[in-house]
Homo-oligomer: A and B are copies of this chain.
Amino acid sequence: MTPTPITLTDKFAQFEDYWNPRIIGELNDQHIKIAKVNGEFIWHSHAEEDELFIVVQGKLLMDFRDRTEEIHPGQLLVVPRGTEHRPRTEAETWIMMIEPKTTVNTGNVESERTRLDLEVL
C-alpha cells in the first residue's frame, strides 16, 4: 500500500445523503469514516468500541443521558464504549469518525437507520 494523502473535501464531494457513513481509510483495525449528518439520529451505544468524532464543517450536538455536548471544527470528542449517545445537528454537518472495523453505526440498536457494508471512497 502506497501512503497517499486523503483530502477530506474530495471525499465529501462524492455523496450527498445523510447518516450514511463512508470509509475513507484504515489503521490498526479501525476505519476512518466520514458522514454528512443533519437532524437527529437514534440513541445507541457500542459495547466494545470507543468512537472518535471530529467535526469538519458545521456543528455536532452529542446528547448524553445527563447533558449535551457541542462539537465544532477544531474539536474532538471520544465516546467511550458502553456510553449511550445520540448525535444530532441543527443544520447539515460534516463529521469524521475513527472506530474499530466492527463498529455498526447504530450500535446495539437494529433500526432502519442501520448501515452495513459501507461504501469505500
Contacts and interface: CB of A to CB of B under 8 A. Distances in A.
Contacts of A79: 3
Interface string A42-77: 000000011110001000001010000111101111
Copies of this protein chain in the complex: 2
Nearest to A30: B28
Contacts of A1: 80
A75 B56 CA distance: 11
A6 B98 contact: no
B5 A28 contact: no
Tell me the interface secondary structure of chain A in the complex. Answer: strand
Interface residues of A, number: 38
A7 B75 contact: yes
A76 B30 contact: no
A25 B100 contact: no
Smallest CB-CB A-B distances: 5 pairs? A27-B50, A5-B75, A6-B76, A28-B50, A27-B78
